[in-house]
Amino acid sequence: MKLAAARAALDYVPSGAVLGVGSGSTVNLFIAALPGIRQRIEAAVASSEATAQRLAAAGIRVLDLNEVDDMPVYVDGADEVTEHLSMIKGGGGALTREKIVAAVAREFVCIADQSKLVPVLGQFPLPVEVIPMARSHVGRELAKLGATPVLRPGFTTDNGNIILDAHNLVISNPAELESAINQIAGVVTCGLFARRGADVLLLAGPEGVVKRGKRGILS
């Protein structure tokens, strides 16, 4: 199903433009399919070092985001997504760069299998990227918000920081919680993508891929 969602995203790759590419196993399947349409892709921006390496190995030119002023489309996966296209991301730890690249893109295309669609976010522990010296402070602040924070063991982000995974949250207002967590001193960003959610969700199930927008099924 991940492969079906990844292949469906090829239709969204614009010609002659810079493509934003996320991280994770679903995106890796998307990258593996890119050589078939390489002539359409001017270059790409990667949301992680791992993705940059895969893109380069697939023969796609990788640009620094600072060299890019227009990006029509960003393709990425999600750990959880609602029907309103708010997401939890960062299971792979690339949430900060994912959020930055997504902020530049005009359209966010999320690719996922149907197990990722949830009525309420929070079953998947919410990743929070934290400056190492702020670990204890941020942990206490997350606990005040009702979370059980757990340090992701032996993990350092591409930015040199740690991840606290916030368990036991029931996220009824994702945009509000995203802002609240992002305002804690020492938080780089949290893995809630609600203020800038996806624009299109390509959700793969046994019957095929369903295209969803923020207002429901598109086709």
Query: Catalytic site residues?
Result: 98
- Using the rule CB under 6 A, which residue among 20, 77, 122, 197 binds ligand 5RP? 77
Of the candidates 80, 63, 79, which has an alpha carbon nearest to the alpha carbon of residue 20?
63
Q: By CB under 6 A, is residue 174 in contact with ligand 5RP?
A: no
Q: How many CB atoms lie within 10 A of CB 20?
A: 28
Interactions with ligand 5RP, residue window 15-44 (CB under 6 A): 22-26
Residue nearest to ligand 5RP as judged by C-beta position: 24
Q: How far apart are CA 97 and CA 49, in angstroms?
A: 10
Between the alpha carbon of residue 36 and those of residues 17, 31, 91, 144, the distances in Å are: 16, 10, 28, 49
Q: Which position among 93, 125, 149, 197 is part of the footprint of ligand 5RP (CB under 6 A)?
A: 93
State the Cα–Cα distance between residues 187 and 157, nearest whole angstrom: 13
Compute the least distance from the CB of residue 39 to ligand 5RP, in Å: 26
Give the shortest CB-98-to-ligand 5RP separation in angstroms. 6
Handedness of CA 112, 114, 119, 120 (dihedral sign): negative
Q: Is 94 in the site for ligand 5RP (CB under 6 A)?
A: yes
CA 5 – CA 42 distance, rounded (Å): 23
What's the closest the beta carbon of residue 175 comes to ligand 5RP, in angstroms?
18
Q: Does 76 bind ligand 5RP (CB under 6 A)?
A: yes
Q: Is 178 in the site for ligand 5RP (CB under 6 A)?
A: no
Report yes or no: 53 and 78 within 8 Å, Cβ to Cβ. no
Instruction: Give the amino acid at 35.
Output: P
Q: Does 212 bind ligand 5RP (CB under 6 A)?
A: no
- What is the C-alpha separation between 49 and 92, in angstroms, rounded? 12
Q: Does 92 bind ligand 5RP (CB under 6 A)?
A: yes
52 part of the interface to ligand 5RP, by CB under 6 A: no
Report the SS3 class of residue 9: helix
Q: Are 55 and 46 in contact (CB under 8 A)?
A: yes
Measured from the CB atom, the residue of 6 and 71 that comes closer to ligand 5RP is 6
Encoded amino acid at 113, one letter: D
Tell whether residue 79 is a contact of ligand 5RP (CB under 6 A).
yes
Total of chain residues touching ligand 5RP, rule CB under 6 A: 17
Name which of 25 and 136 has its Cβ closer to ligand 5RP: 25
Give the nearer residue to ligand 5RP in terms of CB position, either 99 or 134. Answer: 99
Contact residues: ligand 5RP, CB under 6 A: 22-26, 76-79, 89-95, 98
